[in-house]
Amino acid sequence: MRAKAVDVLSPDNPSGLPYRLLLTCEHASQLMPSPWRWPDEDRRLLNTHWALDLGSEAPAVIAQFSRLLVDANRPLDSPTLFRDAADGQPEKEDRLQACYYPYHRALAELQRKVMPDFILSLHSYTNNYEGQPREVEVGVLYDEDEDLAKTIRQQFIDQGRYECRLNEPWSGKEGFMYSADRHGHWDEDAFKGWTEKKGKGDIAVVMLEMKNDLLTDRAWRTQFTQRLIDILRSDPVVALVKAKKSSAT
């Protein structure tokens, strides 16, 4: 058992990007921090997409609790914030205080230090969802930053020949990139009192979804990571990230 709800890794920028990048991963772990534990009847869900996003952990702000306990990538009023419909209110509040709020406070604190120009959220998804196979290999999710998402998608297609699609297997316009989008609309007071007030939104925000059977393959992941770094360094992406910041000032 691990008691902490979040890992905050080094905010240094070793890739030499000409802008400040902040990575997030809300579904990196299937841990149950103390005092919670996996019920015997639910252990069948270990190492599945229900418990975590397989292969998605990255140097960043990383949640250290299973999404089945509470989902850090959902707003407080989301019907899928808690996956167990039988939860009572006191138990829900305990989960929020022990996991959800510490994750977002840690992300807000790192954000305050880094002052990022671009927040990139990393997730993975199952290649077969309840009997429905998925063809898309990489999804680029966006809400407001359509030009940036389209540019990243096209470079994935050109460089890696990936089956890469916009807002698939779900859409950033429908709340599925809540965490990154929420922090991208920076409003420091909102995080202190935990209101849903949005700030000025001068940070570029994109979420990547990778098919987990590919992402858990070391060779594929190594190649994908290098291509992602090249894309993040590319002139079109740099220009769009900087344009977002300058247009909001």
Q: What is the pLDDT of residues 27-63, one digit of tens each?
A: 665 555 555 554 554 444 334 333 333 333 354 677 8
- 1 is a domain residue: no
Position 216 pLDDT exceeds 60? yes
pLDDT computed for residue 123 by the predictor: 86
Task: Categorize the per-residue pLDDT at 142 as very low, low, confident or very high, splitting at 50, 70 and 90.
Answer: very high
- 218 is a domain residue: yes
pLDDT computed for residue 167 by the predictor: 97
17-26, 64-73, 104-113, 202-211: least confident range: 64-73
Which residue would you say has higher pLDDT here, 147 or 127? 147
What is the Cβ-side half-sphere exposure of residue 208, based on CA atoms within 13 angstroms? 26
- 24 is a domain residue: yes
CATH number at residue 159: 3.40.630.40
- 25 is a domain residue: yes
- 180 is a domain residue: yes
Work out how many domains the chain is built from and give that number: 1
- 40 is a domain residue: yes
pLDDT computed for residue 31 by the predictor: 54
- 80 is a domain residue: yes
Percent of the chain with pLDDT over 70: 71
- 190 is a domain residue: yes
pLDDT computed for residue 87 by the predictor: 46
pLDDT computed for residue 173 by the predictor: 95
Question: Are 24 and 179 spatial neighbours (Cβ–Cβ below 8 Å)?
Answer: yes
Question: Are 102 and 6 spatial neighbours (Cβ–Cβ below 8 Å)?
Answer: yes
Name residues whose C-beta falls within 8 Å of residue 56's C-beta, 6 or more positions apart in sequence. Answer: 25, 27, 28, 122, 123, 124, 210, 212, 215
Which residue, among 71, 24, 75, has the nearest Cα to 49 in the 3D structure? 71
Domain range for 215 is 6-247
Task: Categorize the per-residue pLDDT at 171 as very low, low, confident or very high, splitting at 50, 70 and 90.
Answer: very high
